[in-house]
Amino acid sequence: MGISPAVLAGVPTFAEPAKRTTRASASVGKIEVLNPKGFPPAIKLFPMAPRVASLDGKTVYLVSDGFAGAHRFLEQMAIWFHKNMPSVKTVYRLKAGGLTGDDPKLWAEIKANGAAMIMAYGH
C-alpha cells in the first residue's frame, strides 16, 4: 500500500536523477532550464480510527457512494454477512453528495449507532 513520495509530487519517475546545478558549473553543451511545477499543498497526516476487536454482535454500515451498481453490490454483501457472520447487523445507507461530497449527517449517525463502515465503491 506504500506510495512513492515522487508520485505525490506529480513526478512519478525521473529518466535520470535530477541534478541541481548552478549556471557557472554547467559544462559545455549543457544549458540550465527551470522546473515548471507549482506548489503542492502540505499534507496533514491523520491517524486511522482504532479498529474493533471483532465484528461479532456489532452493527456495520454498508455505505454506497451512489456509483452505478454499488447498491446491488452492498445488497450482496449484506447477504454474505447474513450467511457467514449472522451475528453482524448490517445497515445500508446511500451517502449524500455523490462520489466526492461530504455527508456529516450520515457520519454522525454511524458514529452513534455503528461499529464500522464499509464503503463501496470507488468506481
Partner 1 sequence: MGIPTAPIVTIAFEQLAKTNAAQHGVPHLRVCFTPHPMTNKTDAEMYQVLEGKDPVTGKPFMPEVIDALTKPLTAAEKQTGETRPSTGPETYSDTPDNLQRFYADNNMTDFQPIILPTEEKVEWMLKGTSHKPDEIVGKMSAGVPSAFPPWSFNVRQVAINAVMAGAQPEFFPAILALASTGQTAIFSSTSSFAHMAVINGPFRDKVKMNYGIGALGPFNDANATIGRAWTILSKNLANAGLPGFTYMGTTGTNFNYNNMCCAETEDALPAGWQPLHVRHGFKPTDSTVSVFTGWSLTNVCYFGLPYHEMITHWLTHYFSTSNFSAMLVLDPTVAADIKAHGFDSQDAFRDYLVKNTKTPAWLYWQRRDKEMALAKQGVEPYASYLKMGPDADIPVSRFVPRRFPGMPENAPLPNTIEMIVMGGSTNTYWLGGDFRYTVTASIDKWV
Where residue 98 falls (left for φ over 0; alpha for ψ -120 to 50; beta otherwise) is left
Three cell numbers, residue 25: 558549473
Largest CA distance in the chain: 74
Is 86 a binder of partner 1 (CB under 8 A)? no
B/e letters for 30-50, b = 16+ CB within 10 Å, e = fewer, are: eeeeeeeeeeeeeeeeeeeee
Is 13 a binder of partner 1 (CB under 8 A)? yes
Across-strand partners of 64? 94, 120
Q: Shortest distance, CB of residue 89 to partner 1, whole angstroms?
A: 14
Report which residue type is found at 7: V
Size of the site for partner 1 (CB under 8 A): 81
Q: Shortest distance, CB of residue 92 to partner 1, whole angstroms?
A: 14
Q: Shortest distance, CB of residue 62 to partner 1, whole angstroms?
A: 10
Question: Using the rule CB under 8 A, which residue among 89, 91, 93, 115 binds partner 1?
Answer: 115
Is 94 a binder of partner 1 (CB under 8 A)? no
DSSP state of 112: H
x-marked contacts with partner 1 along 37-56 as a string, rule CB under 8 A? xxxxxxxxxxxxxxxxxxx-
Comparing CB distances to partner 1, the nearer of 53 and 86 is 53
